[in-house]
Amino acid sequence: MESVAPPLALLLCVKRAIEKGQPVRVGILYYLKRHEGDFPEFVMRWMGLLQQGQDATTYLETEKSMHRRILIQLLERGLRGEAIYPTLLQLESEIIEACQDELGTKLARLPFILLIPLLLFQFPAFLMLLFGPLLKNFFHSFGGG
């Protein structure tokens, strides 16, 4: 799951734990053990705030991604003992759709990005091939022979 988006990886770990009959906390801890990066650190700090009994809503506002905030809020409800499995399934489909949309936009931009090496390297070489014989004839006519 290295190439999976971090919120989707967390969601899948929690979903798997719930399907095994384990609490939400077990899924979150499994995710934190297996993954590294900015989002697992964010989740770890959020879990620390919850374990200390502090309000984590101000900390959640620092997260820019809407899907990540909604997932954390849903997991907080699950940690309080609410049933979150149906909502988790719906959020999973929304996150997958958002990932596919992001991939689609990046793939749509890719041909234009790949034109840059063409313009920088191949086009000047083509111009040299095109104008090389012309310049040779031009200098030959000035040289007189």
Residue 145 has pLDDT above 60, yes or no: no
Q: What is the pTM of this model?
A: 0.76
- Per-residue pLDDT tens over the stretch 65-82: 899 999 999 999 999 989
Q: Percentage of residues in the chain with pLDDT exceeding 70?
A: 97
> What is the DSSP code string of 17-73?
HHHTT--HHHHHHHHHHH--SHHHHHHHHHHHHHHTT---HHHHTT---HHHHHHHH
Query: Would you place residue 89 in the very low, low, confident or very high pLDDT band (cuts 50, 70, 90)?
Result: very high
Residue 1 has pLDDT above 80, yes or no: no
